[in-house]
Chains A and B, each alone.
Chain A
Amino acid sequence: MKALFIALCLLAGAPAGPALTAQESVTINDQKPKKADPVTVTFKTSMTCKNCVKKITENMSFERGVLDLKVTLDSKEVMIKYDPSKTDEETLAKAIRKLGYEAEKVVEKK
């Protein structure tokens, strides 16, 4: 029974295999996905202490798409450089808020 189950799983995946390979080969041969230029965003947060810096650093460093991170307690700002093909400002803001801090985007004055 167990062997049958495994065999069925393999068979279910088999027809998709060549199709996927073909799809990939079409993609590879035709056009590689272009890496987007990194984008920088700064958030104003509600952090109050060094523990807050540690919490944000330890967690945001591992968020998908984050390339660079600067957490400054004095100004309560978090500067993030990210790959826009993997994440966006809203996702990053949500991640900070999930940690328990406010996250308002800082708009640079021209």
Chain B
Amino acid sequence: MALFKPIYLRFRIIITTLLVALFQFPFTAHAQQDREDTLKATVFTSRRQANSLSKGKELRTEVISSTGLMKLACCNLAESFENSASVTVGYSDAVTGARQIRLLGLSGVYLQMLEENRPVMRGLSAPFGLSFVPGPWMESIQIAKGSPSVINGTESMTGQINTEFRKPTDEIPLFINVVGMTDTKTDFNIASSLQFGPKLSTILLGHAEGNFKSHDMNMDGFMDDPMRKQVNVANRWFWYTPELQIRWGASALYDSRLGGQEHHGWQSDINNTRLNGYIKIGKPLREDNSASVAVIGDYTYNNIDAGFGTSFYSGRQHSGFVNLMFRDAFSENHDFSAGLSTMIDSYYESLDRYLPTGVNNSFSPVTTNLVNARAYAEYTFHQEDKFSTIIGLNGDWFKDNGFRLSPRVTLKYQPFESVILRANGGRGLRNALPLVDHFGVFSTGKGFIGNYLSHQLEDSWTYGGNATFYFHEDNYLSLDYFSTRFSEQLIVDYELAPGQIAFYPLDGKSLSDSYQADFHLEPSSHFTLDLTARYTDARTTYLAGGMKEVPLTSRFKGVLNLQYKTNLSRWIFDLTGSVNGSARVYDFMKDLKDESGNLLYPEGRTPVYPLVYAQVTRRFKGFDIYVGGENLTGFRQKRVILGERMADGMVNTSTSDFDASAVWGPLMGATVYAGIRVTIWKTE
């Protein structure tokens, strides 16, 4: 109870302050009363499903709409995927709070992240980037599996995730969201869309978060979640005339997090700063907009200063991106796009890593310039709604790797109104960033050996298909299969030598096969059911041991999502349950025992575990109140911090056995949250 009192008081102060500040707006929530006279009131609109498969897109694309984003606390982009079986969310390690995602059984570094079709979350912002996108800022998320369009480049090796943000043209001069959790994490979001006439509009976005108290529920001496503070602001503008469209914007972020041992000893102290500016200009070349030219320019600065025990990593990144596109739909059936693009990344990194074991992985400040220039072309053919194909070709020149050609093909065939068949395949390329891509390596006492400074070009081919069967309006059954085969990959091997993490280029096969079935049912306008099952087989060739299952990658996942809405969506009840399949553990984890002396990982595999989320939302005119819970079964990974135990039961962080990066399950137990969303619409 003592825990709740200060949270309740802070919550009450925040809400009171907001209500006073809002008094000047046409705020009619106080006049709203429950209407007991409603007779089966229903709302028929171009109603957006929370999670759905896009019918129109050629590529298999899952869309999480604003409705879906509001099913969970969804404090940031990482948490938005908690009820998606396509994307698996986890932690890079047990101390920094860095989140990572997987698509098609492979690390999120092989996914291309886009923000309104601009590549983002690259380089130094990748480890924490998913926590840098506040959930309430987003309008929708599109998850495309396979090899997407060449227009945005070929870094999309397993797929692409595009986030759409709230728009300057939204007639919402004020939106506020405040949520507090029982682990004391509190989020505050504000958005304001303002229109200055028919041509010019802007949106201001603000976010602040932090937690007031640390916890060590599993009594291992390490904070379950780091103490963190984040401030994030963005401003976007939109200028529109039929002859010219310009979008531009800027954002700034500061994030700090202190994790590790609470009172003394090993700690991680990480500070991130990010600045971004962009401009997008589009000009129609014909009145009917069937031909156009566009240019996108983007600049990002990332700075990360990260301390891990006695080690210290510092990185600065300047990235510039320019994309010039031409598009011509020269007939009803034919569409052609072509363009030129360049991406320049300049990294300045240094590492002080003198371990108590005597290992020295330090390196002096080193500057790495990665330059990529490319030309691309894409042809699209439509035969009404029956058949369409996209054939793309991308020619890349990499500064240290020469010229590479990347074709991509997508086919979509709709033999009947109720059946859609898709096939897709293509090549993907990206420069590896060994230490940043695998940020969890810093949370260990192991020495790095091999190519940990190499920015090797990784090369893969992904192909697959999807069959979706619709019945009775929007209900569907979807089946898909995707496979990724690497020809070049940087392997990070925790098992090659005891006390060491080896980085080396792939010598052999590396592949991932993913099978997924999605079932969506809306038996009535009030009730929705989504059931998804995924099976993944991810294997890589390691120097010692040959081809083995990739560690800590779950074999299967099943997700059930139920939603019930009362008349006019006055009350919304959401329940999400998932079953997470077993994964192979590292060889050095096989003999781990629990407090009772039983093996934690019989047969060298993690247990199958459940996750349950629930939320109740009460909607009024102008505001929503919601209460929910995460991980309601309270399942937690045992013995998250690995290493030699001292007399007091705490892990000795001075040995090479120390490892806080072997995370496969939840770190936090059950948490409860409550929040409020206030939406003030523009009125005459």
- Interfacial residues, chain A to chain B (CB-CB below 8 A): 35, 38, 50-51, 53-55, 57-59, 61-62, 64-73, 81, 83, 86, 97-100
Contact = CB atoms under 8 A, between A and B. Distances in A.
Contacts of A50: 46
A80 to B, nearest CB: 10
Contacts of A68: 40-43
A13 to B, nearest CB: 21
Contact of B171 (A51, A57, A64): A51
B46 A73 contact: yes
A9 B621 CA distance: 32
Given A51-B169, A51-B171, A61 B568 contact: yes
Given A61-B43, A68-B42, A83-B37, A100 B683 contact: yes
Interface string B57-76: 00000000000000000000
Contact of A62 (B39, B45, B568): B568
A83 B169 CA distance: 34
A71 B169 CA distance: 20
B564 interface: no
B684 interface: yes
A49 B40 CA distance: 27
B44 A71 contact: yes
Contacts of B37: 35, 67, 83, 86
Contact of A58 (B35, B44, B679, B684): B679
A44 B620 CA distance: 26
20 contacts: A38-B39, A51-B171, A55-B171, A58-B681, A61-B43, A61-B568, A62-B32, A64-B33, A64-B35, A66-B41, A68-B42, A68-B43, A69-B42, A71-B43, A71-B44, A72-B46, A81-B41, A83-B37, A98-B683, A100-B683
B170 A51 contact: yes
Given A51-B169, A58-B679, A64-B35, A69 B44 contact: yes
Given A51-B169, A83-B37, A86-B37, A100 B46 contact: no
A99 B683 contact: yes
A71 B45 contact: yes
Contact of A55 (B33, B35, B569, B681): B681
Q: Which 8 A-B pairs have the closest CB atoms?
A: A62-B621, A70-B44, A61-B568, A71-B45, A67-B41, A57-B45, A69-B43, A98-B683
Given A53-B46, A62-B568, 8 more contacts: A64-B33, A67-B37, A67-B39, A67-B41, A68-B40, A69-B42, A69-B43, A97-B684
A72 B167 CA distance: 22
Contacts of B622: 62
A68 to B, nearest CB: 5
Contacts of B593: none
A24 B485 CA distance: 78
B524 interface: no
B38 interface: yes
B536 to A, nearest CB: 35
A32 to B, nearest CB: 13
B682 interface: yes
A100 B171 CA distance: 10
Contact of B684 (A66, A67, A86, A99): A99
Contacts of B170: 51
A69 B47 CA distance: 12
B681 A57 contact: no
Contacts of B167: 51
Contacts of A62: 32, 568, 620-622
